[in-house]
Amino acid sequence: MRSLSYLTVLLILISELYAQSPHGENFSIECSICHSDNSWNKLIEPIKFDHSQTKFRLLGQHRRLECKSCHQSLEFNLIQTDCASCHQDVHQNSVSKDCLVCHDFNSWIVKDIIKLHQSSRFPLVGKHKSADCSDCHRDYDNRIFRPNGIECFDCHKNDFNNSQNPNHVIAGFDKDCLLCHSMNQQSWNKSNFNHDFFPLVGGHKIGNCFACHTQSNFKGLTKDCYSCHKSDYENVLSPNHVSGNFSKECSECHNINGWVPASFNHNLTQFPLTGRHVNLSCQLCHSGGYSGTSSECYSCHKNDYENGQNNPNHVVANFPTECRVCHSTNGWTPSNFQHDAQYFPIYSGKHRNKWSNCSDCHRVPTSFASFSCIDCHEHRKSRMDDEHSDVNGYVYVSNACLSCHPKGDSDKPINFNRLQTR
């Protein structure tokens, strides 16, 4: 009976001891894991408690800490596992309260801030990668990283407002820097503005916006050549475009690679250039201007007609002033006058290569309608009289010769019906 009573008392005492545990209720870990038999105050070394079995594994720097660094109270279950419960928010709520977003368990130092920034609203690209944090985060020295705007103008307002070449404010430029600049460029000086609406190629690839644009006018420029090249048009003298009344559409004669050589297509005019005309200087024909120039041969070749041709003399012979009647654009000689087909064969038959000059047969300079057959050394009168003794109505005159011998062949049948008499 006494033994039962003693056991009951012992159980009550033990129960009271558990109720007085400084670690709070429902703490079921054996005391011997941390304490020795000699004293509550002195912990065993090493402590056998496995922290990995809790909701918070000890990693990195946490493994070196004393228990009391985190457990200010001996009631271990009361502590939270989030970072902010132990660590003061030095960033003043400007970033996430989860320290592991930027830091790891080994150190507060962020080893790769670029990589970290790539998962933010503003990934760092190009020149931004080499920028100091304080360039964008003004409270960086205070370790405050309040969210910045991610539009170009949010950071580059001063760059935009202070630009002078060109002045972005006066020109009314868009505040989206990426329209003209690239993050990969090392300075503002090089732009990648898409000028495809007026391609800057050839002579237009000048690299100086102000050659076409003024400080206050970067919008609404016309694509008309004359609007930019008015001075070129008015001051050129070879040829003088103003006096020549040239078209003000430069592309009709020039291309974007330069003013010379000009590419005017003369074949689209009323006077296509062929033969010797192709390589002539414009001034030779257009000495008096470019508009209203006559396409008549004589207007350009008057001097050739009057002074350059003496065999035969065109003026004395009263030749037509339309050169193409006898000549082609390939040259004055040989002429293409159809003497054989229209009059008398001198380029074929028996008279081929028997003459040197027109005057061999045409003895009257003022009339090429006049001709002579009997003045040839082969047609002496005595010989012709003897050969024509049996020809009724024969006379020794050139017209009579032509009447019977229209092709100049004496050995072919003679057309006596055409014989003309005096």
Cβ atoms within 10 Å of 332's Cβ, excluding its own: 14
pLDDT digits (tens, 9 = 90+) for 117-159: 998 899 999 999 988 988 888 888 888 888 888 999 999 999 9
Rounded Cα distance, 58 and 65, in Å: 9
Q: Where are the beta strands (DSSP E) in 62-115?
A: none
Nearest-10 Cα torsion for 205, 206, 209, 213: -90
**Confidence band of 8 (pLDDT split at 50, 70, 90):** low
User: How many residues are given for the chain?
Assistant: 422
- pLDDT for the residue numbered 13: 47
- pLDDT for the residue numbered 62: 93
Mean pLDDT calculated for residue range 235-246: 85
**Confidence band of 226 (pLDDT split at 50, 70, 90):** very high
**Confidence band of 239 (pLDDT split at 50, 70, 90):** confident
pLDDT digits (tens, 9 = 90+) for 62-104: 999 988 888 888 888 888 889 888 899 999 888 888 998 899 9
Question: Do residues 117 and 66 touch, judged by C-beta distance below 8 A?
Answer: no
Rounded Cα distance, 6 and 10, in Å: 6
Whether residue 180 is predicted with pLDDT greater than 60 in this model: the reply is: yes
- pLDDT for the residue numbered 422: 37
Angle subtended at Cα 119 by Cα 118 and Cα 122, rounded to the nearest 5 degrees: 65
The number of angstroms, rounded, from the C-alpha of 190 to the middle of its chain's C-alpha atoms is 16
Whether residue 176 is predicted with pLDDT greater than 90 in this model: the reply is: yes
Higher pLDDT, 11 or 346: 346
pLDDT digits (tens, 9 = 90+) for 188-212: 887 777 888 889 899 998 877 888 8
Give 397's contacts (C-beta < 8 A, 6+ positions apart). 374, 422
- Averaged pLDDT of the chain: 84
Domain ranges of the chain: 17-81, 99-211, 222-291, 296-336, 338-422
Whether residue 6 is predicted with pLDDT greater than 70 in this model: the reply is: no
The two three-digit tokens of residue 395, written as one number: 């006379």
Give percent of the chain with pLDDT exceeding 90.
20
